[in-house]
Amino acid sequence: MRKQERRAWICLMLVMVLLAGVGLFGYRFVKSGGEWATFYGNTQIYTDGVINRGTITDRYGEEILRCTPDGVEYYGGYETRVATVHAVGDPQGNIPDGAISIFKSQLIGYDILNGTYDTTANGKKIALTIDANANRTAYEALAGRTGAVGVYNWKTGEIVCMVSTPTFDPLYEPEVSEDEENSYFFNNFLDGLLTPGSTFKLVTAAAVIENMSDRDSFTYECDGVNQIGEGENAKLTDVTEHGEVNFRDALAQSCNGAFGALTREVGAKTMAKYAEKAGLTEPVRVDGIETAAGSFDFPKDDDIKLSWAGIGQADDLVNPCAMMVYMGAIANGGEPVQPTLIKSATFIKELTGGRSLGRYIDSDTAAELKDMMKNNVVENYGEWNFEGMDMYAKSGTAEVGSRNPDAWFVGFTDDEDAPYAFVVWVKEGGFGSEVAAPIAARVIRSLGSVSE
């Protein structure tokens, strides 16, 4: 009998296996229960594959859409639909990063205790951080061109405007297009990887500030051609002949020759380090979404290509959202706040600020950059264009192949009630300060709280 008693451990082993399996499932249930419950196969909350409960509003409670068992109902007109569709998402799920997909468990009101249990079956109302009005303004300002506008509050992290064009009316969803880059469904702001042009000089400038103690005595004689070696490609052409420029002027006039020289002085290794420090090589995490990650190539043995890379050309690719966060970093003393799309506990966020992404650059560096960006506005873009705003910015005109250059305008405002970091990109728009800057000004003005 004692033998059987000893051998019976094998039954206890089976018990352990059963409990271990159930334990593992319990862990998965806690971790992924929300994902499982909101799977489109769950006919409790999906009708014909479309979520059947929940309401999405903008930051002021303006209802954008409501999911019902009879389909998705839209509020607001055509312009609201097309201007918010990339943020809100579409019923067909062609926009994978839309709120309707990313926040479906919040829409349904899933929680681990109650699951999808809902006595009203109306789901929950979730407020996005975007301002529907600002989105409409941005959509109008882009005026049919391909582009992206992103604005976030660099103190709280709330993305108040996010528009990507081309866009579409979710009520009459177009066919899926083959060409992903030009697709209606593609969100240039979150998923785009674009040549930054001169906006990248803000990264090069950070590297200069932190690595060249003699930068104040730096001067460069710009002859408009700036030949740096043999061959056609070996010149950093500028629009005009800038003459003798110092570091500060070089940024204000966006002198390619001077920034090429600065890049060479800083060196390839340091440039790569600063592209990374500026957060441009990693995806930005926005709630459940991961943006595309930028990439750069700073060759050690090719001064010409290195110079081009230092002024935002060559193989440089940035993601607009990451660029916006870098603006937030400069605005916020070197430590950017993580962007978010869902509005929650605003009161606490306003008191304590949003979640920090850690230190990107020194606070002194940030202060100097900020000062130079103000100088850009004063000297180059004209403060009268941004009346009522305390504007800090940098324009960009990115050469991409032989087509018309892309227009960029990035920066931030530092007003008590309007602390906004922004990025504007217009494909084939032309000059950044001419084309993109007015869009930024118009959108920020539409956000209100800007003294007229």
Which residue among 5, 178, 214, 416 contacts another protein (CB under 8 A)? 5
> Is the Cβ of residue 18 or residue 239 nearer to another protein in the bound state?
18
Nearest approach, Cβ of residue 49 and another protein (Å): 11
Nearer to another protein, 15 or 351 (CB): 15
> What share of residues in the chain are helix, strand, coil (percent, to 5)?
40, 20, 40
Cβ of residue 298: shortest distance to another protein, in angstroms?
39
CB under 8 A: which stretch of 21-29, 290-298, 399-407, 433-441 binds another protein?
21-29
DSSP state of 248: H
Rounded Cα–Cα distance for residues 183 and 172 (Å): 15
Q: Could you tell me the smallest distance in angstroms from the CB atom of residue 24 to another protein?
A: 7
- Told to check if 44 binds another protein by CB under 8 A, we report yes
- Decide: is 36 part of the binding site for another protein (CB under 8 A): yes
Which residues lie below 8 Å from residue 423, measured CB to CB, with a gap of 6+?
148, 149, 150, 189, 320, 321, 323, 324, 327, 408, 409, 410
Total residues at the site for another protein (CB under 8 A)?
44
* Shortest CB 29 distance to another protein, Å: 6
DSSP result, 387-426 = TTS-EEEEEEEE--TTSPPEEEEEEEE-BTTB-EEEEEEE
Of positions 24, 171, 176, 225, contacts another protein by CB under 8 A: 24
Of 27, 39, 60, 78, the one binding another protein (CB under 8 A) is: 39
Task: Write out the binding residues for another protein, residues 364-423 only, by CB under 8 A.
Answer: none
Distance CA(375)–CA(43), nearest Å, equals 59
Are the C-beta atoms of residues 53 and 85 closer than 8 Å to each other? no
Asked if 6 interacts with another protein (CB under 8 A), we say yes
Q: Does 301 bind another protein (CB under 8 A)?
A: no
Cβ–Cβ < 8 Å for 49, 333: no
Two structure tokens written together for 373 = 């960006």
Q: How far is the CB of 120 from another protein (least distance, A)?
A: 8
| 14 versus 378: smaller Cβ distance to another protein | 14
351 counts as binding another protein under rule CB under 8 A: no
- Label residues 34-51 b or e (16+ Cβ within 10 Å = b): beebbeeeeeebbeeebb
Of 10, 77, 347, 402, the residue at the interface with another protein (CB under 8 A) is 10
Residue 13 beta carbon to another protein: minimum distance, rounded to whole angstroms: 9
Residue 152's nearest CA partner among 166, 141, 163, 139 is 163
Report, in Å, the least distance between residue 36 CB and another protein: 4
In angstroms, give the least distance from the CB of 52 to another protein.
12
Give the contact letters, 118-137, x = binds to another protein (CB under 8 A), - = no.
-xx-----------------
Token pair in block for residue 323: 């660029």
Question: Can residue 8 be called a binding residue for another protein (CB under 8 A)?
Answer: yes
Residue 115 touching another protein (CB under 8 A): yes
State which amino acid sits at residue 25: F
Asked whether position 176 contacts another protein by CB under 8 A, the answer is no
What does the per-residue mask of binding to another protein show for 93-112, with x meaning CB under 8 A?
-----------------xxx
The nearest distance, CB 404 to another protein, in angstroms, is 40
H helix or E strand, kind and range, residue 161: strand 159-165
Q: Phi and psi of 128, rounded to 5°?
A: -80, 165
42 makes contact with another protein (CB under 8 A) = yes
Largest CA distance in the chain: 102
The reply on whether position 345 binds another protein by CB under 8 A is no
What is the C-alpha to C-alpha distance for residues 254 and 238, in angstroms, rounded to an integer?
Answer: 9
Phi then psi for 412, rounded to 5 degrees?
-160, 160
Cβ contacts of 301 within 8 Å, gap of 6 or more: none
29 lies in the binding site for another protein (CB under 8 A): yes
Q: Which of residues 47-76 bind another protein (CB under 8 A)?
A: none
Indicate the burial class of 12 (C-beta count within 10 angstroms; 0-12, 13-18, 19 or more): exposed
C-beta closer to another protein: residue 116 or 165:
116
Q: In degrees rounded to 5, what are phi and psi of residue 254?
A: 50, 55
Interface region with another protein, contact rule CB under 8 A, candidates 117-125, 255-263, 280-288, 365-373: 117-125
Residues that bind another protein (CB under 8 A): 1-12, 14-15, 17-19, 21-22, 24-26, 29, 32-34, 36-37, 39, 41-45, 110-117, 119-120
